[in-house]
């Protein structure tokens, strides 16, 4: 797919003052007509989100199977960079591997709690060609039941522990809730699942903390702030002792579970008989964890930073980090020569740069590359060249003239600053969406477009009543914070317990 396949519609009735001025000078550097917003307003989050994914060519939702999307090559390039960060964070002490997609029914059905959680969501392969299969095969909804029978064969002694592996694969879940591209899909194309085995329950608990730290670092690098909470017992992963989740507050105030880490205790070890020989010769059950992230991380990235002009990508994950737009006026050859030299210089410095020499007007090029979320645009014009500068425009709107000779340093600087601005802006947005409340009525109001922090005694009955009466979900107890005593919004019992509540994607 080439850039020229992009279709940029502009609304001819929508003219700003700058536009009318530009009309008379078709090649004006200030021609901003084509930059006028084409996407729906971000307040209409759902429409904005769907159109952005298509217009910026992230994923194509027109594949004729519900809940299954196609990555545009451009979207896939973002994915590659994003998952490169995950790999970088896991590779020092995890080994990447790959297990089969199909799981025999007998293995899948062994762990009762796990089946209960997933049975309604499993796709089954029941025949090979025209012959019915003797043993039905499940399309993995997640891979515990594929991986753990192999762990039984691989793990012999304490020397084999800890064992940490991960894979990035597709998984299938027959979701019955409303599907949305990248957010809730039936083929999760980019399921990163890590599975670890440990000698003790405490070691596994420490691994859950490590996992949350790694995921936190991952989201910081995407400049996406999040909330960390411990899911209530009724919402933990099927078969887990407990689940810690990362939630991202989306533009409409609903939350997106964007990563989870589960302490599996010895539940699966018992079912799949995974034991190791301890130093004293005793056979012991292992303790396990697993943790996962999906393409929801890209949904979060796109949603948190994007605006009405398109994607806004942090430097590290942008497929194109710098676009050079020559302003072809006056000595065009000179402008092109300087632009080409710049491109070479940037490429030599390992910057993912592009030079846009297409026939479109500069304004159209600006629009196109803004839609693609390019962090930095360099405008090279004849007058700037005379002054020994180029115009640097950052995707967040900052624009300045930069001396050609300091360009690489300036770009590095601006990339860092953009990262900081994106994170700070997103953090302010998130914090503005969270409010402490004391009553159910307040919680109802707050969860209409945000997250409520509600006093909750921790009792399960109170929890269910809270969810019913507020008509929102309990995300769970915030991690790493403590609170003063307050009366449970349901039973009035005084405790230091709190829970986040939100409408969830």
Binding residues (CB under 6 A) for ligand A5A: these are: 142, 173, 175, 184-185, 188, 193, 237, 257-260, 262, 290-292, 294, 296
Nearest distance in Å: CB 264, ligand A5A: 9
* Partner touching 296 among ligand A5A, Zn ion, none, CB below 5 to 8 Å by kind: ligand A5A
CA distance 278 to 156: 9
Piece in contact with Zn ion (CB under 5 A), picked from 98-106, 250-258, 329-337, 489-497: 489-497
491 lies in the binding site for Zn ion (CB under 5 A):
yes
CA–CA separation, 33 and 22 (whole Å): 8
Place of tokens 């430097």: 315
Is residue 223 within 8 Å of residue 423, measured between CB atoms? Answer: yes
**How far apart, in Å, are the Cα atoms of 391 and each of 301, 378, 383, 404?**
27, 6, 11, 10
Q: Which stretch binds Zn ion (CB under 5 A): 45-53, 257-265, 391-399, 455-463?
A: 455-463
Other Cβ atoms less than 10 A from the Cβ of 466: the count is 24
Q: Give which of 236, 212, 216 is closest to 224, Cα–Cα.
A: 216
Q: Which is nearer to Zn ion, 453 or 490 (CB)?
A: 490
* Binding of Zn ion by 489 (CB under 5 A): no
Rounded least distance, CB 399 to ligand A5A, Å: 37
Please identify, using beta-carbon distances, which residue of 168 and 457 lies nearer to Zn ion: 457
- Is 459 an interacting residue with respect to Zn ion (CB under 5 A)? yes
The nearest distance, CB 463 to Zn ion, in angstroms, is 8
Q: Strand, helix or coil at 140?
A: coil
- Cβ atoms of 172 and 187 within 8 Å: the answer is yes
The phi-psi region of residue 67 (left if phi > 0; otherwise alpha if psi is between -120 and 50; otherwise beta) is: left
Helix axes 73-90, 296-305, angle to 10 degrees: 110
How many angstroms separate the CA atoms of 376 and 398, rounded? 10
Q: Which CB contacts under 8 angstroms, 24+ apart, belong to 464-469?
A: 464/234, 465/490, 466/440, 466/490, 466/499, 466/501, 467/501, 469/440, 469/444
CB of 200 to ligand A5A, least distance (A): 21
User: With respect to ligand A5A, which residue has the nearer C-beta, 117 or 382?
Assistant: 117
Distance in angstroms (rounded) separating the CA atoms of residues 386 and 301: 39
Work out what residue 260 binds among ligand A5A, Zn ion, none; the CB cut-off runs from 5 to 8 Å by kind.
ligand A5A
Tokens of 430: 């998130």
495 binds Zn ion (CB under 5 A): no
Among 304, 490, 501, 502, binds Zn ion (CB under 5 A): 490
Between 256 and 457, name the residue whose CB sits nearer to Zn ion: 457
Kindly tell me which residue out of 437, 457, 466, 501 binds Zn ion, with binding defined by CB under 5 A.
Answer: 457
Query: Given the complex with ligand A5A, which of 242 and 369 has the nearer CB atom?
Result: 242
In the bound state with ligand A5A, the residue whose beta carbon lies nearer, of 262 and 305, is 262
Nearest to 456 by CA among 503, 504, 493, 484: 493
State the Cα–Cα distance between residues 248 and 206, nearest whole angstrom: 23
Query: CB under 5 to 8 A by kind: which of Zn ion, ligand A5A, none does 192 bind?
Result: none
Residue 459 binding partner per list ligand A5A, Zn ion, none, with a CB distance cut-off of 5 to 8 Å that depends on partner kind:
Zn ion
Q: Which option in ligand A5A, Zn ion, none does residue 401 bind, with CB closer than 5 to 8 A by kind?
A: none
Distances (CA, A) of 110 to 4, 101, 113: 53, 18, 9
Please choose which of Zn ion, ligand A5A, none residue 258 contacts, taking the beta carbon within 5 to 8 angstroms, the exact cut-off set by kind: ligand A5A
Nearer to Zn ion, 182 or 462 (CB): 462
Residue 237 vs 423, nearer CB to ligand A5A: 237
Q: Which single residue brings its beta carbon nearest to ligand A5A?
A: 292
Report 95-154 residues binding Zn ion (CB under 5 A).
none
Give yes or no for a contact between 319 and 74, defined as CB atoms under 8 angstroms apart. Answer: yes
Find which of ligand A5A, Zn ion, none residue 497 binds, CB within 5 to 8 Å per kind. Answer: none
Q: Which residues bind Zn ion (CB under 5 A)?
A: 457, 459, 462, 488, 490-491
């Amino acid at each position: 797919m080439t850039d020229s396949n992009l279709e940029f519609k502009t609304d001819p009735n929508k003219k700003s003052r700058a536009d009318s001025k530009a009309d008379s000078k078709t090649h004006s550097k200030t021609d901003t007509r084509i930059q006028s917003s084409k996407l729906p307003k971000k307040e209409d989050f759902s429409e904005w989100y769907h159109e952005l994914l298509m217009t910026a060519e992230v994923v194509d939702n027109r594949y004729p199977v519900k809940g299954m999307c196609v990555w545009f090559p451009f979207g896939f390039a973002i994915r590659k960079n994003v998952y490169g960060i995950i790999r970088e964070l896991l590779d020092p002490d995890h080994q990447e591997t790959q297990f089969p997609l199909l799981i025999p029914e007998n293995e899948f059905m062994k762990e009762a709690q796990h089946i209960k959680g997933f049975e309604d969501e499993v796709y089954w392969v029941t025949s090979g060609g025209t012959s019915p299969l003797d043993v039905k095969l499940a399309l993995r909804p997640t891979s515990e039941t594929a991986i753990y029978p192999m762990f039984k064969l691989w793990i012999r002694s304490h020397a084999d522990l800890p064992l940490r592996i991960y894979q990035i694969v597709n998984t299938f879940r027959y979701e019955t809730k409303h599907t949305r591209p990248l957010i809730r899909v039936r083929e999760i194309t980019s399921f990163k699942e890590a599975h670890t085995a440990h000698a003790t329950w405490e070691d596994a608990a420490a691994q859950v903390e490590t996992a949350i730290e790694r995921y936190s670092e991952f989201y910081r690098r995407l400049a996406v702030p999040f909330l960390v909470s411990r899911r209530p017992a009724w919402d933990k992963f099927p078969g887990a002792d407990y689940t810690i989740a990362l939630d991202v507050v989306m533009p409409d105030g609903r939350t997106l579970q964007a990563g989870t880490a589960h302490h599996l205790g010895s539940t699966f070890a018992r079912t799949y008989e995974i034991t190791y020989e301890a130093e004293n010769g005793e056979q012991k059950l292992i303790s396990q964890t697993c943790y996962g992230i999906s393409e929801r991380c890209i949904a979060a990235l796109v949603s948190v930073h994007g605006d009405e002009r398109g994607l806004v990508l942090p430097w590290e994950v942008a497929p194109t980090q710098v676009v050079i737009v020559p302003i072809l006026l006056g000595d065009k050859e000179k402008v092109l020569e300087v632009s080409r030299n710049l491109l070479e210089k940037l490429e030599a410095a390992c910057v993912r740069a592009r030079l846009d020499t297409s026939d479109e007007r500069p304004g159209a090029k600006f629009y196109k590359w803004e839609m693609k979320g390019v962090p930095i645009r360099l405008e090279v014009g004849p007058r700037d060249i005379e002054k020994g500068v180029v115009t640097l425009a950052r995707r967040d709107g900052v624009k300045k003239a930069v001396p050609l000779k300091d360009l690489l340093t300036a770009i590095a600087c601006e990339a860092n600053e953009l990262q900081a601005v994106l994170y700070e802006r997103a953090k302010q947005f998130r914090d503005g969406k969270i409010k402490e409340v004391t009553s159910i009525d307040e919680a109802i109001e707050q969860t209409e477009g945000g997250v409520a922090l509600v006093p909750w005694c921790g009792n399960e009955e109170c929890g269910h009543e809270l969810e019913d009466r507020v008509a929102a979900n309990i995300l769970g107890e915030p991690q790493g914070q403590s609170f003063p005593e307050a009366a449970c919004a349901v039973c009035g019992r005084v405790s230091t317990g709190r829970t986040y509540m939100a409408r969830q994607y």
